[in-house]
Amino acid sequence: MSTIEKIQEDVLVEEQVGINNEIVLYNDDVNTFDHVIDTLIRVCQHTSEQAEQCAILVHYKGKCTVKTGQYDELKPQCTQLLEAGLSAEIV
């Protein structure tokens, strides 16, 4: 007769908990793709590919998260997007 030994391990899982906010950009019928792309590159430091993908998502899905981070970091960027005539908010 053989013995099978079972070992139960407790694993501690650490999660990084941060309070991240998002800048959400919304679709409108006013701004051109070029303006949205140029503004995302200038304000959010997107690459041209990132900015183009966000513009396409906003156009077809109605909204897109364009930046995440701490509220204090996002506030000036969101303000610049709004001043450029884009529809955005921090959530």
The CA distances from residue 86 to 5, 10, 31, 52, 64, in Å, are 64, 50, 7, 15, 12
Assigned fold of 21-90 = Ribosomal Protein L30; Chain: A, (3.30.1390)
pLDDT of residue 75: 98
In whole angstroms, give the CA distance from residue 67 to residue 49: 15
Closest CA to 66 of 35, 84, 74, 85: 74
pLDDT of residue 17: 60
pLDDT digits 0-9 by tens, 65-78: 999 999 999 999 99
The CA distances from residue 4 to 1, 8, 9, 10, 37, in Å, are 10, 13, 16, 20, 63
- How large is the average pLDDT for residues 52-59? 98
pLDDT of residue 1: 64
pTM of the model: 0.79
pLDDT digits 0-9 by tens, 7-41: 777 767 665 566 799 999 999 999 999 999 999 99
